[in-house]
Structure 1
């Protein structure tokens, strides 16, 4: 049985999340990849291990046209898969409704052809469920899976898509940055409201730059305008699963902890020895972050550690 995966394309470039979704979907069967974007993104997708064929259409960019195109392709596939990202959350429930299928969302593990694991209760529990439907509409949490290798040379097919969108894109507002993508970064340095200001967050950014890390923030820090919205980590932000998460001035509210439970190692820097995040931290540094972080940064610079 084959799987159709909706690729993630950001500003004309294939998102790193796509490699992770392809790797996960390949556990269900041979993977065909649909790329809503330019030919260059399709060529990048064709290099992913496990991809049998790439279909590309530059016309299917908005949610309603994506749903229309995917519903036409769905007759050939028992599995329709996407990332549990903003695009996947927009498109896949619409597709499921159109196909009269109950979707299974935010999957973090695959235990069989129709047996999946996903978090519930704000990530405080894991649910294992069996999807007995003859066809499946699924979204996977990209951070829960390793990326597929490259080196493949799958064929690329251009779809003659005539679907017209009822929506019109008026404008796209982007935050330009040279730091790694937060959702797929291997190292993340996060700051809480205790950082105190935008200037204080520059300590977080400097440490992150040395480590080659993505920058995260709690909702309280974002609401205080210390950090941009796309840095928010947690239940209402981005779910991350880095190899290392450095939490600076973060107490550990349940909503934030729900977004970092996939982190393999957690270092917490906090002045409060009773902070909830210390219960799950692998290493805890108790003290003033405005003393510890500059010292840590200076020592890393002295050792010549720079990524």
Structure 2
């Protein structure tokens, strides 16, 4: 590659899901050439040399790769969840090291689940307490792999994302079904905190961090206004005009999760996450309040 391309180029790794497709659409509108790296795309994880070639002269890289955690945590799935994150991050880091003209910035997915179950206080980047258990172990191993690369020409930012809301994707369809079938009451005791972020603001956060060239490290990507689970369900019921609010106790959630092959952690863990670093740097949310975010997502 002798000459720098005339177009702006962005690499979306693992960009075939709900978040990846949305980001692809938005960056295409801005005039970027978007290259997807995934298992079944022309440039895939089995071709590290092609990944290096794709990364040359790119404006930035966003890595979203990883098996969904919406499954049972059996031995097989646990292994796949971990390796799908660690191995892809390792491949990308080594590819950047092999670039002559590496991307200016590398965004790597992380998760707000890295913090402990919190009903007593907020979790910020500076004062948040890392939790324990399988999901936390995945998140910490993922960030360790990511920040294990020392890249002199590429800024590194880990996006500790809360639950992402948006039209026809993420958690919106399953919550719609729960409310539609009359189970729109609180889940468990209803006091667990629900930290969330509208997908439009995730896109804006990426642009904001890209523009502010001194920023790096870990950023909580969540609305500044998390709510309790019982408030979340109330908003869904009101927006869908379904007043029935049968609560779902923990033991029924356990049975339901077993039947549909998932885990109750997705509903019962209290994530009380605040985007302190973004707020301190002056970022303003287009969707700071859950009511507006759910209304748009529905």
Q: TM-score range with shorter-chain normalisation?
A: 0.3 to 0.5
* More strand, by proportion: 1
Considering only CA atoms, is the larger Rg found in Structure 1 or Structure 2? 1
Higher-RCO chain (CA-CA 8 Å, sequence separation at least 6): 2
**What's the TM-score once normalised by structure 1's chain length?**
0.34
